[in-house]
């Protein structure tokens, strides 16, 4: 079991004020799409070839889980993987507990897939994942006929899930905008007869829906209210293997993008960035702040659009981020807070309650990251206001709490702060962006 850190030992690191960043890079494949490509490949009949897969710890743990559940998963080249699936509801009972390491997405999506199979599986993860809420996914899965036979307090990991022999289709209204809850219900619904319906008040990322369609499922999405969606999946389809090209991850691109915006003189180009509108809230917000981000070479694959971004140093101003934008930038508030610290004037971010249940309590951890580096930040309830003054004193040591995005955000901040910014542990960066340090150094970042 992975109980502590991917590297076992803490890996402290420092970011120093750097000269202009420049270059052209492709950040790794999208994490959400990579998990889904492996899972749907494992549930399909035939061989799925995936290119551009994110080879980060989170996704590698999902690959291992798919093997343990009976699929044949082979790395065929750099970022190229082949998955031979077992068909819908065809998972075999795993011989050992499934260890998802740091990954909430891997754990929760696979819970959905297992819930529709007549097998029992133990789910586990590291200390961060063991602390995260699982009831939000287990509640609907139990309504569909799965059973939790053992767990830590409140359904937390380690947890034993007994899949349903005869899964029941249902209509489910998600209590929070969460693609993980929606996806778990849809993946369980694959094995149920009839239609499974998920209704969300605010649309969350729709990669599961797009990829299910790509693999041949009948799935229809309609609007529900102003920001919501109603998704109807016809159960028991035969999923056919379908090749997947994974575009670059906008949530990973966010780090070099904000770095380029705050380090004077920078001019950085990022290729193949996925531009699904349910993922681009950060870019909208940065543009409202005055960021120079030019898009070109727009194209798409498997229903997912992508583009090349050219980002240049920009004078930023504080803005108010509308709360309904949160689902489309939920993983990006940390690095937005860094951009806000370098902007002139306050940036107000409201309705951030979901940040409290990510890899760490990201609301508190982000505020602490800024404060220890001399930035004035207020947290009140689930809102955060960063009072930007155009510069950041720096000089602080940031506690990363086993959270890759805190680590990368703090290092980005240090590239433009007056004094170096330290982090206690860079090892968790490997969960989502294994080449972050060499890629940033290649652009001119001073990281020691």
Site for ligand S3P contains 58 (CB under 6 A): no
Q: Using the Cα atoms of residue 55, residue 61, residue 67 and residue 71 in order, give the sign of their dihedral.
A: negative
Residue with Cβ nearer ligand S3P (33 or 69)? 33
In the chain, the largest separation of any two C-alpha atoms, in whole Å, equals 61
Task: Compute the distance between CA of residue 117 and CA of residue 164 in angstroms, rounded to an integer.
Answer: 6
> Which residues neighbour 234 within 8 Å (Cβ) at sequence distance 6 or greater?
194, 195, 217, 218, 219
Among 202, 176, 173, CA closest to 185: 173
Stretch of 44-52, 84-92, 172-180, 188-196 contacting ligand S3P, by CB under 6 A: 172-180
Stretch of 163-171, 179-187, 230-238, 317-325 contacting ligand S3P, by CB under 6 A: 179-187
Site for ligand S3P contains 32 (CB under 6 A): yes
Task: Compute the distance between CA of residue 260 and CA of residue 116 in angstroms, rounded to an integer.
Answer: 45
Residue with Cβ nearer ligand S3P (151 or 204)? 204
Select which of 331, 361, 383, 403 is catalytic.
331
Count the residues of the shown chain that bind ligand S3P, applying the rule CB under 6 A. 11
Angle between helices 57-68 and 31-43 (to 10 degrees): 10
Stretch of 178-186, 193-201, 304-312, 317-325 contacting ligand S3P, by CB under 6 A: 178-186
Contacts to ligand S3P from residues 307-336, by CB under 6 A: 330-331
Burial (0-12, 13-18, 19+ Cβ within 10 Å), 95: exposed
Contacts to ligand S3P from residues 270-309, by CB under 6 A: none
Given a contact cutoff of 8 angstroms between Cβ atoms, the answer to whether 170 and 145 are in contact is no
Residue with Cβ nearer ligand S3P (72 or 353)? 353
Nearest distance in Å: CB 399, ligand S3P: 20
Contacts to ligand S3P from residues 1-30, by CB under 6 A: none
Point out which residues pair with 349 in neighbouring strands. 321, 384
Task: Compute the distance between CA of residue 26 and CA of residue 195 in angstroms, rounded to an integer.
Answer: 39
Q: Which one among 105, 128, 266, 427 touches ligand S3P, defined by CB under 6 A?
A: 105
Contacts to ligand S3P from residues 191-210, by CB under 6 A: 204-205
Answer yes or no: 301 catalytic: no
> Which residues neighbour 356 within 8 Å (Cβ) at sequence distance 6 or greater?
362, 363, 364, 382
Residues that bind ligand S3P (CB under 6 A): 32, 105, 178-180, 183, 204-205, 330-331, 354
- Active-site positions read 331
């Amino acid at each position: 079991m992975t109980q502590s850190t991917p590297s076992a030992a803490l890996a402290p690191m420092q970011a120093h004020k750097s000269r202009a960043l420049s270059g052209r890079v492709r950040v790794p494949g999208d994490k959400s799409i990579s998990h889904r490509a492996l899972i749907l490949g494992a549930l399909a009949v035939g061989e799925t070839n995936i290119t551009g897969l994110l080879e980060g710890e989170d996704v590698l743990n999902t690959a291992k889980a798919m093997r343990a559940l009976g699929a044949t998963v082979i790395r065929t080249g750099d970022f190229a993987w082949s998955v031979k699936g077992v068909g819908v509801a065809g998972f075999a009972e795993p011989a050992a507990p499934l260890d998802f390491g740091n990954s909430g997405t891997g754990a929760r999506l696979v819970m959905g897939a297992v819930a529709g199979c007549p097998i029992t599986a133990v789910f586990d993860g590291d200390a961060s994942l063991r602390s995260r809420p699982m009831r939000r996914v287990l509640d609907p899965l139990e309504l569909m006929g799965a059973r939790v036979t053992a767990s830590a307090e409140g359904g937390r990991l380690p947890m034993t899930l007994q899949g349903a022999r005869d899964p029941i289709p249902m209509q489910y209204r998600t209590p929070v905008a969460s693609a993980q809850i929606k996806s778990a219900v849809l993946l369980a619904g694959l094995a149920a007869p009839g239609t499974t319906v998920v209704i969300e008040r605010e649309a969350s990322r729709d990669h599961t829906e797009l990829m299910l369609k790509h693999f041949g499922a009948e799935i229809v999405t309609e609007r529900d209210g102003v920001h919501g969606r109603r998704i109807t999946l016809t159960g028991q389809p035969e999923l056919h293997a379908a090749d997947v090209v994974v575009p670059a991850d906008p949530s990973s691109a966010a780090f070099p993008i904000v770095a380029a915006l705050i380090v004077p003189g920078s001019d950085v180009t990022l290729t193949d960035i996925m531009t699904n509108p349910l993922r681009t809230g950060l870019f909208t917000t940065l543009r409202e702040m005055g960021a120079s981000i030019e898009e070109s070479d727009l194209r798409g694959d498997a229903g997912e659009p992508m583009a090349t971004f050219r980002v240049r140093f920009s004078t930023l101003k504080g803005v108010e981020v509308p709360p309904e934008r949160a689902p489309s930038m939920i993983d990006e508030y940390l690095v937005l807070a860094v951009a806000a610290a370098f902007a002139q004037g306050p940036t107000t971010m409201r309705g951030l309650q979901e940040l409290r249940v990510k890899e760490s309590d990201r609301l508190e951890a982000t505020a602490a990251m800024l404060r220890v580096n001399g930035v004035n930040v207020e947290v009140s309830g689930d809102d955060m206001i960063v009072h930007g003054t155009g510069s950041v004193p720096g000089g602080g040591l940031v506690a990363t709490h086993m959270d890759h995005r805190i680590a990368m955000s703090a290092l980005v901040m240090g590239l433009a702060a007056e004094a170096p910014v330290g982090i206690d542990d860079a090892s968790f960066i490997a969960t989502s962006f294994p080449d972050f340090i060499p890629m940033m150094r290649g652009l001119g970042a001073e990281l020691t």
